[in-house]
Chains A and B, each alone.
Chain A
């Protein structure tokens, strides 16, 4: 099966501009997660969707970040306006909703990430 894909792979923008990152999860995965790694630090959880609903958005840093998952398929993460401290690698991951019951592996599958640089 195709893996998690993210677009773009790299984005360089000026402070104050808007950027939208996209994530396409593995087909059939109802769970979708966004994580972020700021330079040299740990990967931090941003939020979790179950289908189109936000299950946990406790990691979202502030209201400049808006995540959507209309229709429960792909997700977008918009940063508006971008600040210097938003630079980092944004990872998306997906997983089955009931992996054990379905006899599937209970793990999150990650995309390659989007490297965002804010100048």
Chain B
């Protein structure tokens, strides 16, 4: 069975600084998708960024980028120029190609210090 591990229950960063959230996963599949979701306090969870395993190039979305290391099964999220609005719970997730269900990690609570 696939598993996703986020080893950092909480992280904090100074506003305007850069922070990296860690995620590792375990799978025997070769084709899959990886995601980072963000859930602000009392709000809906939204997709931040996605990576397709067959693509070697790391995905980027404005200030958000990933470091995808397929051999190491690592998928970290880097947030540059952190803003107060980035404060949220961040979940790493995996989905096997052809499947529908997402497999999530435990989440990392990110605090932005002004």
Contacts and interface: CB of A to CB of B under 8 A. Distances in A.
Contact of B42 (A56, A108, A112): A112
A33 B100 contact: yes
Nearest to A110: B45
Contacts, number: 46
A42 B45 contact: no
With most chain A CB atoms within 10 A of its CB, the pick from B9, B35, B50, B102 is: B102
A45 B103 contact: yes
Interface residues of B, number: 21
A118 to B, nearest CB: 21
A110 B46 contact: yes
Interface in B41-77: 42-47, 50
Interface string A34-66: 010000111111001000000110010000000
Given A42-B4, A42-B105, A42-B106, A112 B43 contact: yes
Contacts of A108: 47, 102
A23 interface: no
Given A43-B91, A112-B42, A107 B103 contact: no
B101 A56 contact: yes
A33 B50 contact: no
A40 B106 contact: yes
Q: Which of A44, A91, A108 is packed against the most chain B CB atoms within 10 Å?
A: A108
B44 A3 contact: yes
Contacts of A3: 44
17 contacts: A3-B44, A33-B100, A33-B101, A35-B102, A40-B106, A41-B106, A42-B105, A43-B91, A43-B104, A45-B102, A55-B100, A56-B101, A59-B101, A91-B45, A108-B102, A112-B44, A113-B45
Give the top 8 A-B pairs by smallest Cβ distance, nearest first: A43-B104, A110-B45, A45-B101, A42-B106, A42-B104, A112-B44, A107-B47, A48-B100
